[in-house]
Amino acid sequence: METLSSVYLKCGVSWPKNFPTNAKQSQKSGSGSDSGRQHAQGKPPLYFAIKTRETSKQGSLQTPHSAPQLHSAMEDVRATSAWVASRSSHVLVDSAGIEKVVSTIESIPKVEWDFEGIHYFDNGPLTVQYLFVLDALNFCFWPDEDLNYDDLASGLKAALQNDKSAFDADRLQKYTGPQLRELLRWPRPLPLEDERVRLLHEVGIELERNFEGKASNLVQCCGKSAVNLVALVARHFPGFRDHTVYKGRQVFLYKRAQIFAADLWGAFGGQGYGEFKDIGSLTIMADYIVPAVLRQLGVLKYSPALTSTIESSGEIGPGTEEEVELRACSVHAVEKMRELISKKSGRQVLSVELDLWLWAAGVQCTSLQHHRTLSIYY
């Protein structure tokens, strides 16, 4: 079993200069970990603008829409992930490994959301639009060994700095593959490029149809609830509906819908568009980096067959038992880590804090071996 810092050393890289090793180094307080305790007592109706033929000349009619009951669905992420972990054939959540890791943790580093300095931020609606476009495209970089998340985030940032209308809803509906490449200044076709273009179109069409073209209106509809935001995103944008079937049971993960809420919370420091009273309801964002870090730490153990596939860079099909187990077991394992750390520290630790910490550690480790799945969800 290894500590996170030893993972860095094993990979031959030093702990990042702007990546704090303890909570005292954090300069961003955000909304504080106590925000996770402040659950709403009741859910008010959500409102967003619906333009009709009768109202289009006068402005927008504010019409109530009850959100899907995704608070229970967020619990379903935890419950179905635990169900997978209890029946997993290829991935084991090692309780002893979790306890060993937690015993080495004195405090969770408060990692700066933009510690790399690669994101656009102007403290306003344009940042929200940027983040929604970013998270619509935030998946499957590994087929191009030179491409990573930083290229996407910084490329979209540069595009927006060059042209403030680049992510207007009407323009999102018209981008082609070559135009997206030009926007990102990428010299060759992107992995799953057609899917990325399709999802851009989907975002543009639905934002224009129901939210006056602005992701900020989408956020304002959620009533400062991250759970409601995940609900609205999953309801209106099919490309964010990250769920699958495992051994006859539906499993919910919602990685990119959750990361949009988490990105807002991190970018705005828990204030303004990033203020959520229930940020503690989110889980980790199950991708291909966090499982690999958890395995390195001794929290996850793989079957010999799965180990061989990953170490030989073989592909794992989306929706296969192996792929679902890797993601669901990661969610369950980090929930168990969070519970133990919270008990040890006497304060509520957020899953989004653990997610950013583990992910930031993983992306710094260039030799980290992760699974390879062609998927639009991560």
Q: Are 46 and 232 in contact (CB under 8 A)?
A: yes
Cα end-to-end span (Å), the chain: 27
Angstrom distances, CA of residue 123 to CA of 43, 264, 279, 326, 371: 27, 10, 19, 36, 36
Q: Are 355 and 284 in contact (CB under 8 A)?
A: yes
**Of the candidates 23, 12, 32, the residue with the CA atom closest to the CA atom of residue 279:** 32
Q: Are 289 and 359 in contact (CB under 8 A)?
A: yes
- For 204, other C-beta atoms within 10 Å of its C-beta total 22
Q: What are the catalytic residues?
A: 287
Q: What are phi and psi of 99, to 5 degrees?
A: -65, -40
What tokens were used for 270?
A: 């828990």
Write down how long the chain is: 378
SS (H, E, C) 192-218: CHHHHHHHHHHHHHHHHHHCCCCHHHH
**What is the secondary structure of 124-183 as a DSSP string?**
SHHHHHHHHHHHHS----TTSTT--HHHHHHHHHHHHHH-TTTT-HHHHTT--HHHHHHH
Between CA 218 and CA 42 the distance in angstroms is 20
The CA-based angle 313-115-108, given to 5 degrees, is 85
